[in-house]
A and B are shown apart, each in its own frame.
Chain A
Amino acid sequence: MIGIQELLTSIEVGLILGIVAIGVFTTFKTINFADMTCDGSFVSGAAVTAVLIRGGINPYLAILASMIAGGIAGVLTAVLNVKYKIADLLAGIIVAYMLYSVNLMVMGNSPSVTFVDHRTIFSDSSLPAVVVMTMLVTAVTCMMFSSFGLKLRAVGYNKQFATTHGIDVDKITILGLAMSNAMIASGGSIFSQFQGFSDVSGGFGMLVMGLASIIVGTNVLPFKREPLLILSCIAGSILYRLFINVALHSDALGIKTQNLNLVTGVIMIGIMLMKGGVNRNAKAK
């Protein structure tokens, strides 16, 4: 049976990882770029935060610094793709692979850095974290309604149109990936502050989590307009955490804890089969 406290923790974690889902949404759905940098940039955000907070830096500044670190990782992936013509998938994988070493270096060659005794945005209550996350979500939603957001969507939907209408596709792709990975890293930063430590393997499965949140959110909520789909990511992330919680408490059905990924995966497939998948191009066909 799931307790109230567990339920609240699921919602809290779902909210934090919803920020990551928004980052994944920006690349995969808005600019149609299969960016695999996510698992690495999430840890970059956590690693930078852990080191700075241990160094006595303000936790809010640590979030900002982690966003810069994530943004740089995104720019690197985008540059490999648009300037050196390396396929989007491969460029992301290479950068995420390299980030493992970079993150280890940032954390002083230690696989895990704890800062439970230091001040974080969760020290007094969860309210400051909720405010920060609301600000981030509001900023991205407003951006999606702006002319930059319109250009991002145009590049994602129709690159030929974008070029013939004066949109610099390369520049927009670089900015889009920088923004997306900055969001993902901010999610990493807030999550590490929630946990009180940073782990070099902490980003494993973040991309899958982000995609699953998008699938759940966009299929469950009725929003159709792209800027509002951002809110679906948050809702999807919370629902995804609740699914995990259900999966963790399925002993009565004969399902063991080690079957977590299998059970959540089956739930995801079920939702996808109900209403269609994450790839909008495949959906369009």
Chain B
Amino acid sequence: MLKLSKICVRDTLKCLDLSVAAGERILVVGGNGAGKSTLFGVISGRINPDHGSVVVDGMDMTIVSECKRTYIISSILQDMKAGMVEEMTILENMKLAYMRTGGRKVSKGDIDIFKAKLSIFGMDLENKSHEYARNLSGGEKQALSIVMATSADYKLLLLDEVTSALSQKVSDLVMSSIDEITSMERKTCLMITHDTRYMHSFGNRTLEMKDGVLCGALRSS
């Protein structure tokens, strides 16, 4: 599904190799400056590697722009504001989310699926479709950005420190909801986190990253 070969980015990533099978859900842990966000930047296309190749679903994506990669790679960044347009309503954000894969018209069925996913979080967001995103709490915003990232079709989901700004209770809820959505849809998923509490509970594999290289699996199933 995802194959990174000999990826080098200045001094941040050092000849990194990674293979992820379809449907695998992997947690990447590591300290500050380990190169986790750079690794995600390379996969999403935000950062061009100095050397190496990025292959997703059999297609060489190394020189494909970030915008074009979003057709198959969906990502949620640490900054909640990047996951939605706060000045738009939940419904307008939903329409934008469905445009990621080419801008097809949103059907009533799409809206129902979107609301069903929102209901997984138990925050009553499904009944607030005309609410402006700026009026939502931090946890609600993150829930909305996760549902937006997983609404249109995607092959790979990248989650970058999605719980870092949330309280423990909301983090647990968000993590279990992500687990539920990604396992239900059998999608490939990579998540970065500092939070070691989820090392043994999220996904199938936990990898540790240190000084720009993947040291090995802390857990695998």
Contacts and interface: CB of A to CB of B under 8 A. Distances in A.
A163 B66 contact: yes
A84 B102 CA distance: 27
User: Which range holds the interface residue count of chain A?
Assistant: 10 to 19
Contact of B95 (A147, A168, A169): A147
Contacts, number: 63
B219 interface: no
A127 to B, nearest CB: 37
Contacts of B67: 163, 166-169
A161 B103 contact: no
A168 B68 CA distance: 8
A160 B76 CA distance: 11
A160 B83 CA distance: 8
B101 A166 contact: yes
B85 to A, nearest CB: 5
Contact of B88 (A153, A167, A169): A153
Task: With a 10 A CB-CB cut-off, give which of B71, B77, B88, B102 has the most chain A CB atoms.
Answer: B88
Interface in B48-79: 66-68, 70-71, 75, 77, 79
Nearest to A155: B85
Contacts of B100: 165-166
Interface in B87-113: 87-88, 92, 95-97, 99-103
A161 B85 CA distance: 7
Given A164-B70, A166-B71, A168-B67, A157 B86 contact: yes
A229 interface: no
B87 A150 contact: no
Interface of B: 44, 66-68, 70-71, 75, 77, 79, 81-88, 92, 95-97, 99-103, 148
Interface of A: 147, 150-151, 153-154, 157-158, 160-161, 163-169
